[in-house]
Structure 1
């Protein structure tokens, strides 16, 4: 994201909610794109992990949109998606065919950390108390998401995943 494009000191609550919604939408769209790139091979694979993350981002974006609508109705947005880039969305160069579920969750964990850092770095510039409260809430939410992803990582079966590097090794048997 180009932080210069958003003056955090001038954000009001409506703008902050719109920004948060756009951040969730960008992350959702990127995860959906990753799902298509890695393709589904089996239950619990990287595609499933990216679909799961897309559903989390969609749900959180919907909750924020409902809050926004309840408070500000259909007032037009004054911030746009062009003002942000990769706040929470995973790096577009991350997905690969034969990516493991573990690798997918590590990408997701990195994205949740990135979003946490974004809100943390914005807080010193936020003047509006309602915006500050929202950003603190969103930062805490990103920390919860990190815990969810770490819990999923811990639940993965022990042993190596079938990963791109393994599939390219001579003598490797992708059926094992």
Structure 2
């Protein structure tokens, strides 16, 4: 089991819970201000419209990144006992690489340090659970085609050995099939 990946997944889900709570609170703030204005933004001070826009932007930002953190957390938890596959890890890294700078851009536009702090924590959770993209994890390298081939070969040999032990095939047949499998 890859402990870093497990911890990264759990922390990512905790961050997602925080982001969902923040999204809900900004939604409530937006909704209350909108109701206070009577459902209309005509003849309203620009500062109030600016606050409405800020609440709405923060709601959608927190909601989007909460969903991203949930996806990463679930992926990390589901794959914490598996040998990493290079193409999958590259894809996940690509998604995070595309969206993480966007988090920091949105944080600078939202004028809130809390959003930036949350973005930094979410980035930390991802990099905690992500393998080294060149080699995989220290004691658990990327899965290769040879690994998949050898696992299938071992399964076939195990079945053949069971057939040999039960008397369904002869030793000669077993040896012939064994040569085919190891080629």
TM-score range, shorter chain: 0.3 to 0.5
Tell me the TM-score normalized by structure 2.
0.36
Give the structure with the higher percent helix.
2
Tell me the TM-score normalized by structure 1.
0.37
